[in-house]
Structure 1
Amino acid sequence: MVKGITRQVILVKSPDPRLFEEAIFIVKEEALAREGVSADKVLREARQAANGYLKQGKAWNRRLERLPAPVWGALGAALASAGWAAWLFLL
């Protein structure tokens, strides 16, 4: 649905193109009308929000990537064994 309203939008290119191409921020109409708020400040805050979102997701990925492959193998084997044991005892 298209409305007849124009809005100011900020497009922020992603530093990691594997996840996103760009982030779209819709600027409040009264944001730029305030005194002391410049377009540079709004753009800087949009970039900061986009980077904060990406860093939040990367922190978990870094923690999980630190685990060596044998740990993942042992975890998978333990979960498979637990699944089979539960299946056998429930029958």
Structure 2
Amino acid sequence: PKGNDASKLRFTSNYRPITLANVDYKVLMKVLARRMQSVIWKIAGPHQTCGIKGRSICTNIHTARSVLECCDAEYRTIALLQIDLEKAFDRVCHDVLFKF
């Protein structure tokens, strides 16, 4: 309950809800994650690293820093473009996801 006033205990609005994901949901998500791991290599390109087992987003960061250091050492002028897709999941072709 919120607060210590005993007179307010009878109102449900004074209680905080507790949400627990049930076991069925957790098992289903684990199964889906394992199934996706077997095909994600076919779907994701070689530069997609985050969220794929055996790959790390640090690889892309390291590659970008290496390029910058090489260009700096050779006094080359370069331009970098960083794109962060807003609502990226909404842009995914869900038919492909449900196909597997």
TM-score over 0.5 (shorter chain): no
- When you count strand as a share of all residues, which structure comes out higher? 1
TM-score by length of 1: 0.30
